[in-house]
Amino acid sequence: MTLDHDPEPTAPDRGAARRVPRWRLLVLGGTAEARALAAAVVARPDVAVVSSLAGRVADPRLPVGEVRIGGFGGPAGLAAWLAEHRIHAVVDATHPYAARMRVSGIEAAATAGVPHLRLERPGWTAQPGDRWHRVPDLPAAVAALPSLGRRVLLTTGRQSLAAFAPLADLWFLARVVDAPDEPVPAHVRLLRSRGPYTVDGETDLIREHRIDVVVTKDSGGALTEAKLTAARRLDLPVLMIDRPAPATPPATVTTVDDAVRWLDRHLPVG
């Protein structure tokens, strides 16, 4: 049967008002955990999630829900943004090495008077057979590297290339998501790629380029862990740059489930 007139208007949806989100959450993102948290929270119709990305990567993996891209202009800019967008809670799920954003999130949330949580995955733990050399920061890694090897798999990201470039006696296979803006010197070969990686793939890469030392941040997580297993199998040293330690650590959880439980307490359902 076809209708030659509009069907009866449906009764007003009394649930509609209830579906307008009561809470607004900002997730500072750029990590798998941030995407997983956004995916978990969109299941709550009373919470609107806005995920924020720095805009460093040309083709970022996007979380579900609303996304904004670009810096806020420091802690004051972020505090103003929180007020303007009526944000009720902030979860900072940025990468463990995004030290400036972490401080900015803490200060801005305090200024805006909204609860703040840090979601940070645990770092990696050495296993029997590992030959890890831990250093506190990038300058210490640059100083230590010549004593550990000559052919380097460098996985610390585009922003650290300039620090290693003066080590012209070494050869680098520098794995990056996006190429740096500046040309790289002849002793640095760029490998553009993005994880996850497999142990067999990492083992082949190390063998193919006759790598004798791996340099990494202690990023933690499964997506980029295979290089550590490959280095252990091949009995190679790993130069591991420690995480920057915040002066005053914020309230922190290490899993998305715990972050969801924190949100249930601070943005109660109903």
For the chain, how far is it from start to end, CA to CA, in angstroms?
42
72 binds ligand NAP (CB under 6 A): yes
Among 23, 31, 32, 190, which residue sits at the site for ligand NAP (rule: CB under 6 A)? 31
Q: Tell me: does residue 105 bind ligand NAP (CB under 6 A).
A: no
The CB-nearest residue to ligand NAP is: 71
Instruction: Tell me the window of 4-12, 22-30, 163-171, 243-251 that interacts with ligand NAP (CB under 6 A).
Output: 22-30
Give the nearest distance from C-beta 111 to ligand NAP in angstroms: 13
| Cα(97)–Cα(264) distance, integer angstroms | 27
Interface of this chain with ligand NAP, residues 153 to 172, rule: CB under 6 A:
157
SS (H, E, C) 215-250: EEECCCCCCCCHHHHHHHHCCCEEEEECCCCCCCCC
- Examine residue 71 and tell whether it contacts ligand NAP (CB under 6 A): yes
Q: Which of residues 179-198 bind ligand NAP (CB under 6 A)?
A: none
15's tokens: 């649930």
Residue 95 Cβ, how far from ligand NAP at the closest point, in Å? 3
Q: Are strands 237-241 and 213-217 parallel, antiparallel or unpaired?
A: parallel
- From the list 7, 33, 3, the residue with the least C-alpha distance to 252 is 33
For residue 202, the tally of other CB atoms under 10 A from its CB is 25
| Contacting residues toward ligand NAP, per CB under 6 A | 28-31, 52-54, 56, 71-74, 77-78, 94-95, 97-101, 104, 157, 217
